[in-house]
Structure 1
Amino acid sequence: MRAVTVIPGVSGSLRLLDDYPEPASDEGAILVEALAVGICGTDIEIIEGHYGEAPPGTDHLVLGHESLGRVLEDPTGTLQPGDLVAGIVRHPDPLPCPNCAVGEWDMCRNGMFTEHGIKALPGFARQRWRVQPRFAVGLHPALHEVGVLLEPTSVVAKAWEHIDRIGQRAEWQPRTALITGAGPIGLLAALLASQRGLAVHVLDLATDGPKPALAGALGATYHSVPVDQLDFEPDIIVECTGAPVVVLEAMCKVALNGIVCLTGVSTGGRTIDFDAGALNRTLVLENNVVFGSVNANRRHWDAAADALARADHAWLGSLITRRVPLSDYARAYSPGPEDIKVVLDFTA
């Protein structure tokens, strides 16, 4: 079968193999036909050789951690042939650590987890893959065009769950949320904010292209100015850019008793001159919380599936700005200036 692979650590090793082996039965009982794979910055960084780990016994890693497929067979009866399904990316470590032992593998403490298409597990960018029932997330049939968005939605579902849990430290009635960055993670974070009934603001420097309209369709107010120029203080900020200046401005801008969730990953290597003492004073005296969030566990994937089912499916479809057939795979991994979400289409 065909599969998109790289040799981890080797830049320029991206290849479409025509003779990749069929998925081994020990990968899982559920056999799935691939429909689509979403592409994000993680894939690009792996292709550039920055990180990635091949499964034991091979030097190749199949890419793809944002999956959508259709069940071909499931002898366990968990799903039925024809059902839509996505595969959970992260698997717990074999020891396991205390968090992995209770299904909170997104909070792994020893780093021995594995991840499809990233770390020691083959990804979903292959024509067929297998999955264990506990890592298989069924999707509503109406999501056949947009269910590939489940993985990034699970990331923000976790972020919002943790925001809600932190908010329970006191009587807290948040009204406004600011989302910085209008990429896929940012717009999906705004979707979940709107589903919570919050007044949503989206900030991104793009003034052209689809982003302003996509934010507006959620009922959100769109801003294209620096965070420190906003004329309000949001109760919640979900930071999705990883840009150091935006991160710092978000921490300074959040309202009294506010919560800042950092989901964007900074590249590092850039020094910014700022008054750390003043920031510390503000965070302490205003009872603010800043925390980071990455990945998701089964609970968050299920919440994400519910959120997508309740969303406007036409709006979700608008996030997918390019669908590229498998035969033209290299073009899918070349980001365009107006791309939001690019999908590798296994049905074309």
Structure 2
Amino acid sequence: MPPAPRRAPARAASTIPQVSWRQPQPAPIVLVSGPEDVCAERAIAGIRDYLRAEDASLEVSDIRADDYAAGQLLGFTSPSLFGEPRLVRVAGVEKSSDTFLAEALAYLEAPQDGATVILRHTGASVRGKKLLDAVRAGTGGGIEIACAAIKRDADRFDFAAGEFHAGQRRIAPAALRSLVSAFADDVTELAAACQQLMSDVAGDIGEDVVQRYYGGRVETSAFTVADTAIAGRYGDALVALRHALASGADPVPMVAAIASKLRTMARVAGNREPSKALAARLGMKDWQVDRARRDLSGWNEASLGIAIQAAARADAEVKGASRDPVYAVERLVTVIATRAPYGA
């Protein structure tokens, strides 16, 4: 019997300041935690830029905690002859060697003046938990920058909106939704797309701009398939589905996207609360409630129930219960678009 998988480290109660990855700042110890690499990379680069703006002579060094040579940490953080500030970036803390852990714990007791040490821990393993607990307890005078996973559609929407806000640029809500749906499976690509639009396009960014840049990507997204099927546009939905599959789309996330939209519709159906109040109660965004209400046009309790059951069946089939996942998705799209049981 295979051993049980090791769980990620339980998070100790933190007594140190929690800092946003969008507004990073230096400290003797900076713990950059969590699995979202694009946010972690931004935070680490932001600290480097902050320190370099203060002193252009900043010395930057990199250490691998899993391939660590004894004495590296103290060597890189010790003052040089001219006393330049030092930044030491430590990657792979979730795979730390015993030697690194011992030296890092010792370093926390007496951090070097003028040195900033960044510890990057993805949370992928329990390795390094003692070190993280010590940092979070305040040993070493550190801060934490948490980079939580961006998985939900609402999280991706907030991320992209934050990109344009940080760049002091305006983007139309419909354009932002199209952009997020086009890059629903890759936050790194979504971030790059946001930066490209801000770099290439002058003025406000509308939906026509997103379509011009990423129209092909938008047309093959799972959310486009879901939207056309939910709207009852059967032919368009099948064309979009075949285009998506021909472009290499995976049936598993496609079914997940469709099921997610159906669940949102079910949560909103029959509720007459104002969008803002309902969104707050359900943990959603105002625009998600408004979109779900528009999607519900032409649906009733029976047809929505049939669609949700079909999505549950398709989810099982694309994950191994069927030998033909493509057929499973096509059948699901047919049920949704026709709003009737398959073959009825």
TM-score normalised over the length of structure 2: 0.25
The structure richer in helix per residue is 2
The structure whose Rg is larger is 2
Higher RCO (CA 8 Å, separation ≥ 6 residues): 1
The structure richer in strand per residue is 1
